Amino acid sequence: MQDDMTELQSITHEYRKSLAAYEARTGRATHTVDSQGSGEERQKFARMDADLSAVEATAQVRALESRLAKLESQPVLESRLTARPTALGNADDPNSPAYSARWLKAMVNNDHAEMRALSLSSSNAGIPTDMERRIVERLREANIMRAIAVVTQIDSKRTITVENALPATNLISEANTITAADPTFSTAISVVPYKYATRVVISQEFIEDAIGQNGIGSALDYVAQRAALSIALKQEEAYTIGTGSSQPQGITVGVSQGVDLGTAAALTTTTADNLVDAMFTVAPAYRNSPRFRWLISDSFLKHVRKLKNTVTSSGQLEYIWTPGTATVNQLVGGLPATILGVPYSVGQYVPTTTGDGTVYAVIGDFNYFEIFDRTGITSMVDPYSSSATHQTNLILYSRTDSKVMLAEAFAYIRG
């Protein structure tokens, strides 16, 4: 951690010097370097941006590894079995390596009777628990929204009524009547899991070699990586910008208050004052939450790094982005980085294209953005569609929805 801090301070120092040199040479504002700087200057700043992102990513990966280690030590998706068999080698136990081998052999031999015997429902065989665990872990790695939101397992469609106001409380004197008052509720939120499916094409040689060389774990890991990345990216997009109509509701769509930069204003017009205004749009009760954070794009982060004061006590311009111990006067402090003392996550699907009403950043308590998963990962094996090339199609799908449960817990910055 200390090495990361030292490296970040070194890169930031060089960043400041270079921006100051650009401003002194051209007389232009520092944020224009991307569009009006020389080719060499643009390349230099792009390289430093990448270096800064790499240092912060390293810190975030370490935090993620810690969370995954904690997940690894806990049972995952135990709902499949009422009790875990004591013999880990039981070929009927989806948690066992023996089940994994049996499942792969059934695939390679196109053994439908065996697939039916392995089935945990009336349709297809459940994928081995080890592979499902690997997919779930990689979904978390590749999906920022899953890491910061509340994720709930549901068993059916669900309607959730959200409390709109608390019952009234009054100060009364001795022996006076206490007036009854009921809480009120807003419109019910309907949760409808939507299906996301991916297809992995596996050659028969790959499966046979994995079984013959006892490489079951490696085979499952490969399939899990391919499937999880595909599913995670598509779900991440929906959790971020989904319309909520025939698809999950994205966080940028469900927020109803915040800072408007102006009609069709560009992301680069955001000021430090806008950041402060957005943060204080959210009520203190939500700002005190451990899940209170920013969700921004890489372009937005790059712009914020270049913000600086116009007047200082020293008479010189100073960059607001300052690494070190977090204080209320800094946009970032220490590792992992923060903006105004609030942690941030960079989502690849947060909008950046200039447009009227485009949400460039969201800040809020992510206890009130919820992802609803319907069961786990389900499989379907198709040995026929690609039989001419001696390949098997493994179709994996999951059902999910997402909702902003309380809009007042969030604020946006938008064009």
Chain segment 150-170, per-residue pLDDT in tens: 998 887 777 776 666 667 777
Q: Which two tokens stand for residue 223?
A: 């399939």
| Segment among 35-44, 348-357, 367-376 with least mean pLDDT | 35-44
Chain segment 329-338, per-residue pLDDT in tens: 455 544 456 8
Sign of the CA dihedral with 65 first, then 225, 154, and 255 last? positive
Chain segment 50-101, per-residue pLDDT in tens: 887 777 777 666 665 665 555 445 444 333 333 334 444 566 666 666 666 6
Q: What is the average pLDDT value for the chain, to the nearest integer?
A: 75
Sign of the CA dihedral with 339 first, then 342, 343, and 348 last? negative
Segment of 40-49, 201-210, 354-363 carrying the highest mean pLDDT: 354-363
* 8 A C-beta contact, residue 99 and residue 128: yes
Q: What is the DSSP string of 55-102?
A: HHHHHHHHHHHHHHHHHHTS--SGGG-SS--S-TT-TT-TTSHHHHHH
Q: Of 397, 65, 351, 93, which is closest to residue 230 (Cα–Cα)?
A: 397
Strands (E), 204-301: 258-260, 292-296
* 8 A C-beta contact, residue 320 and residue 330: yes
Q: Establish how many alpha carbons lie within 13 A of residue 386's alpha carbon, considering only the half-sphere containing its beta carbon.
A: 15
Q: What is the mean pLDDT of residues 104-110?
A: 57
Q: Of 140, 236, 164, 193, which is closest to residue 405 (Cα–Cα)?
A: 164
Strands (E), 182-321: 184-185, 189-191, 194-203, 258-260, 292-296
**Per-residue pLDDT at 121:** 38
CA gap 162, 409 in Å, rounded? 13
Bridge partners for 119 per DSSP:
125
pLDDT exceeding 90 applies to what percent of the chain?
A: 27
Res. 119: pLDDT tops 80: no
Q: Of 189, 297, 177, which is closest to residue 237 (Cα–Cα)?
A: 297
* 8 A C-beta contact, residue 15 and residue 305: yes
Q: What is the mean pLDDT of residues 240-260?
A: 95
DSSP 200: E
Q: Of 163, 203, 158, which is closest to residue 182 (Cα–Cα)?
A: 163
Q: What is the layout of strands, in order, in the sheet containing 338-339?
A: 258-260, 410-414, 359-365, 292-296, 342-346, 338-339
User: With the CA atoms of 341, 346, 347 and 350 taken in that order, what torsion angle do they form, in degrees rounded to the nearest 10?
Assistant: 70
* 8 A C-beta contact, residue 412 and residue 245: no
Sign of the CA dihedral with 154 first, then 156, 162, and 163 last? negative
Long-range contacts of 224-229 (CB under 8 A, 24+ apart): 224/131, 224/134, 224/135, 224/138, 225/134, 225/138, 226/198, 226/200, 227/135, 227/198, 227/200, 227/377, 227/394, 227/396, 228/134, 228/135, 228/136, 228/137, 228/138, 228/139, 228/142, 229/138, 229/142
* 8 A C-beta contact, residue 330 and residue 322: yes
Q: Give 20 or 405, the one with higher predicted confidence.
A: 405
* 8 A C-beta contact, residue 111 and residue 118: no
Q: What is the mean pLDDT of residues 119-138?
A: 50
CA gap 11, 53 in Å, rounded? 11
